[in-house]
Amino acid sequence: MFYDASRFVEIIEGGRDDRTHAIVVMTPPESRRILAKGMVVLPEIQRSLDKGLVVVCRGITTAYVVEELLGITLDKANCTAGIVTDGILGSTNPDQPLGPWVIRDGQLSEQSMGDAMAEVTAQDVVVKGVNALDSLGNVGVLSGNNMGGTVGDVWPIAMARGAHLITPVGLEKLVPSVAEAARTSGQELYQYVMGGKVGLVPIMNAAVVTEVEALAMLGGVEATLVAAGGVAGSEGSVVMSLAGSDERVRDTFELVKSAKGEPVLDVPNLWPAVVS
């Protein structure tokens, strides 16, 4: 769909009844777990884990990726700065930050992200979470920092060097047009805000990994977004159909079942809960 899933899945020609079909539901935390598992098997990341740099920016989704890459458990509530929570644009505790993470030759490094970015080459990987995605594969990041925040620190360098900028993002974040959204946003544009002022920074040329690509890479199935939304804890869920050989569909169905029960994060908003 976005990240050339045809590289990872064999689409069988013929009628839909020639294949096995299934339907699955993933809440946002469950999607993030599947996205993270899919990221690990990406050839670009596997190559850099063997020899090279994987720079993972702070974020909730990217924290799941770090957990899968390193086999650790993180307090994901402290793995981001800006966040949408309590129904407003908020921020987490700046005194207890976790990340970013620099992984060199498969091992966690104590090197700073800035120093690592100074070394990034075309063979290395930068992983950045995003807040918006459109059907053309464009992505955007909300920034409350008036100098562009993390995306301002990594995107120009990654693009200038030709590094692999990979953005894992759930389909719950689909918007009609990232370009149109960016044109209507800006920290100093708004007179009334719910929470903190932010602007949407569009990102060009990122390799986007959604649930579609993750399930293709992990299970070799064709996944299609069928519906989205829910209530009573299932808000933001995605409903997806799966198609492929019986073995692949069955195994992918079990993989999604294994992510069931991924806990919802309790992330308090530490910006003043002001709507003005």
pLDDT in tens, 53-101: 999 999 999 999 999 999 999 999 889 888 888 888 988 777 778 999 9
Is residue 83 one of the residues assigned to a domain? Answer: yes
Domain that holds residue 109: 29-211
Is residue 62 one of the residues assigned to a domain? Answer: yes
- CB under 8 Å to 166, separation ≥6 — which residues? 39, 42, 44, 45, 125, 126, 127, 128, 206, 207, 208, 209
Q: Based on the structure, what is the number of domains in the chain?
A: 1
Average pLDDT over residues 231-238: 95
Average pLDDT over residues 250-270: 90
Is residue 1 one of the residues assigned to a domain? Answer: no
- Flag whether pLDDT at 5 surpasses 80: no
Confidence band (pLDDT; 50, 70, 90) for 276?
Answer: very low
Sheet with 139-143: strands ordered across? 132-133, 139-143, 199-203
- Flag whether pLDDT at 267 surpasses 80: no
Average pLDDT over residues 104-116: 97
Is residue 272 one of the residues assigned to a domain? Answer: no
Is residue 48 one of the residues assigned to a domain? Answer: yes
SS3 breakdown of the chain: % helix, strand, coil, rounded to 5?
A: 35, 25, 40
CATH number at residue 172: 3.40.50
Is residue 262 one of the residues assigned to a domain? Answer: no
Is the bond preceding residue 100 a cis peptide, omega within 30 degrees? yes
Is residue 155 one of the residues assigned to a domain? Answer: yes
pTM for the structure as a whole: 0.92
Minimum mean pLDDT range among 84-98, 99-113, 160-174: 84-98
Q: Decide: 65 and 32 in contact? Cβ < 8 Å.
A: no
CA 182 from chain center: how many Å?
Answer: 19
Q: Tell me the one-letter amino acid at 45.
A: I
Is residue 184 one of the residues assigned to a domain? Answer: yes
CA 39 from chain center: how many Å?
Answer: 9
